[in-house]
Amino acid sequence: MFKIFRKELDWNGTPLVMETGKVARQADGAVMVSLGETTVLCTAVAAHSPKPGQDFFPLTVNYQEKAFAAGKIPGGFFKREGRPSENETLVSRLIDRPIRPLFPSSFKCETQVICTVLAHDMENNPDIAAMIGASAALCLSGVPFFGPIAAARVGWIDGEYVLNPTVAQMDDTDLDLVLAGTLEGVLMVESEAQELSEEIMLGAVNFGHTAMKPVIDAIIELAESCAKEPRALPEEPPETDEIKAVIDGFDKQFTAAYKLADKSERQAALGEVRSAVKEKLGDAYDGVLVGSLIKGKEADIVRGSILKTGHRIDGRDTKTVRQIVAEAGFLPRAHGSALFTRGETQAMVVATLGTGQDEQIIDALVGESRSNFMLHYNFPPYSVGEAGRVGSPGRREIGHGKLAWRALRPLLPSKEDFPYTVRLVSEITESNGSSSMATVCGGSLALMDAGVPLDRPVAGIAMGLIKEDDDFAVLSDILGDEDHLGDMDFKVAGSKEGVTSLQMDIKITSITPEIMEIALEQAREGRVHILGEMSKALTSARDGLADSAPKITTLSIPVDKIRDIIGPGGKIIREICETTGAKIDIDDDGTVKVAAVTGESGEAAVARIRDIVAEPELGVIYNGTVVKTVDFGAFVNFLGAKDGLVHISELQNGRTEKTTDICKEGDTVKVKVIGFDDRGKVKLSMKRVDQDTGADLEAEEAE
C-alpha cells in the first residue's frame, strides 16, 4: 500500500531520518523528519494557478506544536491547542525567511507549508528538524523552488563551537545561533549571544554552514529518488518589452524623485511619476505586470546609483549613520522611559517594574518556566503615515520584539541582584529604517532610566547590501526603501564589549563570508557611534528607582516558618497584604520578597513577617493582646502568631481571685518572657513589667 522512501544519516552523532510516502500522501510534498527521537511532519501544498490580479507571492508557513508530542494534555477549559504561542510564531518565521527568496519572482501561486511536532525527546529542539523538513517537502513537491536549504543551531560552550546543542546544553551556552542556507552560502541567521566578538560570531556562521552541507546532500539524494515532476515556470508576458520601453522614458523623473531626502516628499514625487507612467500606458496592459516592472525600474535606479557613486537616497555615503537624538525620562509618571530618534525612525520605549507575581508563565513542550523580562513591540499604522487596522500583534511585531529582547537580555542583572519583573513596551511612532534596532537603543535607555543596573548600554544597527555580480556595497543604517530594494537585511546589536544579537535575511541566493565580515565590522563601527550618541542622554542606570515604582525588600526565613506566614488557606499572608498594601512573594527556599510603593507600607509588612518568624527571647518584654482568659491565668498573643501563658500568680503582686479582675479578652498588655516549659510553651509575666511605661521592674529592683 505504501511506497516509502527513506534517507538516514549520522549528523554529528545524532541520527537524522527523512521519510516520505507513508503519511500525508495527498500533499504535494510530505516528509517526516526525525532528529534523535524528536519527530516533525512537514508538508507543502501549492495552488496550480494564481488568483486573478494577484501581484504578490502568498506564502504561508505554520509551525505547530502538539501537546501530545511531550505526553501532555493542554491546559485551559477546552483542553486543546489554541492560538499559536510566541515560540510557534517565531519558528514559523524562522522557516519562512530562508525559503521565501528561493521561489522565482514570477511564481504567484498560493503556497502553504505546515510543520507539526509529533514527538519531542526533550533533547533535540524540533525547530531545526522543522526547517529541514520544510525544505525537503518543497523539493519533493514539484513546486518551483531553488533549494534545498538546511538549518543548524550553533552553541559556544567552554570556548568551543557545539553543533545542535541539546536542551540541557542550552543552559550552559554563551551563544544560541540558528542559521539556514544552501550549499553556496547562508540565507538566514538568528542569534542571541553573551557579548561575543565579531570573529566568534562569524566563525559560528561558517561552522554551522559547513556542518549542514551533508544534510543538503541528503535532501538532494531523497529528491532524486522520489520528487514529483517540476512544474513549468510562468512565462514572461509578451508585452513586457513594450511596457519597459515606456517606463524607460521616465528615467529622469524617477531619478529626480529618489534624490529627495525627505521620505514624505520622496513618496509623493514617486507617486506622481508612477501615476504618469500608468496614465501613458492606459488600460491596455495588465496592472500587476506594470506595477512589477515599475518596481524593477526603481530598484535599478537606487541600486545603480549606490554602486556607481557611493551616494544613497538621502545623500549619505555607505557608512554614515543618520542624526540621532536620545532622550531619557521622557514620560513623567513612568518607572522609566526614553524617546530614541534616528533620522525618520523613532521609538518611544517605556519600562515598568513589577514583582514576582507579574512574571510571565511560559508553558512549553519541555516544561513550564517563568520569565521576569518581557518586551512588547507595537507598530501602529500612523508610524508610516497610513491608516490601518489596529489589533493584536502580528508575526512581524512578535519577531521584532523578540529580536530586541534577545539583544537586551544578556546585559540584565540576575534575579538575585535585582528581584524585579521588568516589562518594556516599544511604541514605534515613526518608521523609515530599522525600528527593531531603535527599540534596542530606546529600551536600553528606558531600563537605565528606571534604575535597572544594566552592566553596559546596548545599541543596535541595521545594515544593507547592494550586490550586482562581483560588485557590492554594504550600507550602514539602511532606510526603508534600501531595505525593500536591497539584497540583505543585517541587524547587529550589542555593547561596546561585543555582540548580543544578530539577525540576517538575504534576498539573493547567498552571500560570501567576505561580505559578512565587512558587514560585521561596519556594524561594529556604527554601533560604537550610536552608543556615543546615547551617552549624551544617560551613561549608566540612575541611582534610585522612581517614586511610583515598587520597592522590594528581600529577607530570608527558615523554611519551616513558611507555613506560619501563609497561614491556614492563606489567611495570614492575605491579611498582611490587605492591611499593609504590600505584595509578598515566598520562594520554596525561604526567600521572601516584600514589594510596596511606599516605604511605610513595606516596613509594616516586613515587621509583621519578622514578628511571625521571630522566636521569643528569655527576659525580653513584648506588647501583646489577651486572647483567652481561664481560671488559672490568661493566654496572650505577643509575637506574631505566638501565644504564651500568664499564670494567675504572674498577673499582679499579691493574690488574685479571678483572672478577669485583672484583664479580659482583647486587652493590650505588656509581658515579659520568664521561661519555657517541657513542651516549649512560653511562660509570661505581667507583674514584672510596668504596664504604663513598659519598664522592667525586676531590673529596677536589681539596681
Distances in Å between the alpha carbon of 456 and those of 337, 444, 452, 479, 498? 17, 9, 11, 27, 11
CA–CA separation, 446 vs 612, rounded Å? 39
Answer yes or no: is pLDDT of 66 > 90.
yes
Are 604 and 458 found together in one domain?
no
pLDDT at res. 246? 84
Q: Residue type at 627?
A: V
Q: Residue type at 6?
A: R
Are 30 and 65 found together in one domain?
yes
CA–CA separation, 457 vs 444, rounded Å? 6
- Structural domain includes residue 543: no
Answer yes or no: is pLDDT of 697 > 90.
no
pLDDT at res. 96? 97
Dihedrals φ, ψ of 498, to 5°? 170, -175
Q: In terms of DSSP bridges, do strands 373-378 and 421-430 run parallel, antiparallel, or are they unpaired?
A: parallel
- Structural domain includes residue 314: no
Buried b / exposed e over 301-310, threshold 16 CB at 10 Å, is bbbebbeeee
Answer yes or no: is pLDDT of 195 > 70.
yes
Answer yes or no: is pLDDT of 641 > 80.
no
Answer yes or no: is pLDDT of 285 > 80.
no
Radius of gyration of the chain (CA): 34
pLDDT at res. 647? 92
In tens, the pLDDT along 141-189 reads 999 999 899 999 999 999 999 999 999 999 999 999 999 999 988 999 9
| Domain span holding position 586 | 551-613
* Residue 113 bridge partners (DSSP): 44, 61
CA–CA separation, 476 vs 324, rounded Å? 14
Are 343 and 369 found together in one domain?
yes
Are 361 and 501 found together in one domain?
yes
- Helix ranges (DSSP H) in 322-394: none
pTM of the model: 0.87
Are 195 and 65 found together in one domain?
yes
In tens, the pLDDT along 575-593 reads 889 988 889 999 888 889 9
- Structural domain includes residue 134: yes
- Picking from 580, 613, 646, the residue at the C-terminal end of a domain is 613
- Structural domain includes residue 54: yes
- Structural domain includes residue 452: yes
CATH code where residue 598 lies: 3.30.1370.10
CA–CA separation, 357 vs 596, rounded Å? 13
CATH code where residue 264 lies: 1.10.10.400
- Contacts for 343-346: CB closer than 8 Å, 24+ residues apart: 343/314, 343/432, 343/433, 343/477, 343/479, 344/263, 344/430, 344/431, 344/432, 344/433, 345/428, 345/430, 345/431, 345/432, 345/433, 345/434, 345/435, 345/438, 346/383, 346/428, 346/429, 346/430, 346/431, 346/438
Q: In terms of DSSP bridges, do strands 633-639 and 621-630 run parallel, antiparallel, or are they unpaired?
A: antiparallel
CA–CA separation, 117 vs 130, rounded Å? 8
In tens, the pLDDT along 35-63 reads 999 999 999 999 998 888 787 899 999 99
Counting the structural domains of the chain, the total is: 5
pLDDT at res. 8? 96
Interior angle at CA 687, CA 685 and CA 692, nearest 5? 110
pLDDT at res. 149? 96
- The percent of residues in the chain predicted with pLDDT above 90, rounded, is 57
For 123-148, what is the mean pLDDT? 96
- Structural domain includes residue 542: no
CA 301 to chain centre: 37
- Picking from 561, 582, 613, the residue at the C-terminal end of a domain is 613
Q: How confident is the model at residue 257 (pLDDT cuts 50, 70, 90)?
A: confident
Are 46 and 176 found together in one domain?
yes
Are 299 and 383 found together in one domain?
no
Are 605 and 629 found together in one domain?
no
Q: In terms of DSSP bridges, do strands 488-494 and 421-430 run parallel, antiparallel, or are they unpaired?
A: unpaired
Distances in Å between the alpha carbon of 349 and those of 36, 338, 428, 531, 586? 42, 5, 8, 17, 31
146: closest CA among 204, 216, 84? 216
Which run of H or of E encompasses 306? Answer: helix 287-309
CA–CA separation, 153 vs 644, rounded Å? 64
pLDDT at res. 703? 59
In tens, the pLDDT along 377-404 reads 999 999 988 898 888 899 999 999 999 9
CATH code where residue 497 lies: 3.30.230.70
- Structural domain includes residue 315: no
Rounded to the nearest integer, the mean pLDDT of the chain is 91
Grid coordinates standing for 631?
Answer: 481560671
12: closest CA among 163, 158, 130? 163
CA–CA separation, 344 vs 324, rounded Å? 10
Are 425 and 501 found together in one domain?
yes
- Picking from 613, 634, 658, the residue at the C-terminal end of a domain is 613
Are 489 and 628 found together in one domain?
no
Handedness of CA 264, 267, 272, 275 (dihedral sign): negative
In tens, the pLDDT along 546-572 reads 888 898 888 888 888 888 888 888 888
Answer yes or no: is pLDDT of 597 > 90.
no
Answer yes or no: is pLDDT of 411 > 90.
yes
CATH code where residue 692 lies: 2.40.50.140
- The percent of residues in the chain predicted with pLDDT above 70, rounded, is 99
Are 673 and 601 found together in one domain?
no
Grid coordinates standing for 81?
Answer: 491547542
- Structural domain includes residue 593: yes
For 462-477, what is the mean pLDDT? 89
Q: Which range is least confidently modeled, 269-273, 329-333, 607-611?
A: 607-611
pLDDT at res. 702? 62
Three-class DSSP category at 96: helix
Q: Which range is least confidently modeled, 140-154, 402-416, 664-678?
A: 664-678
Distances in Å between the alpha carbon of 232 and those of 145, 284, 504? 11, 27, 31
> Could you tell me if 490 and 482 are in contact, meaning their C-beta atoms sit under 8 angstroms apart?
no
CA–CA separation, 558 vs 299, rounded Å? 69
Are 252 and 177 found together in one domain?
no
For 603-607, what is the mean pLDDT? 88
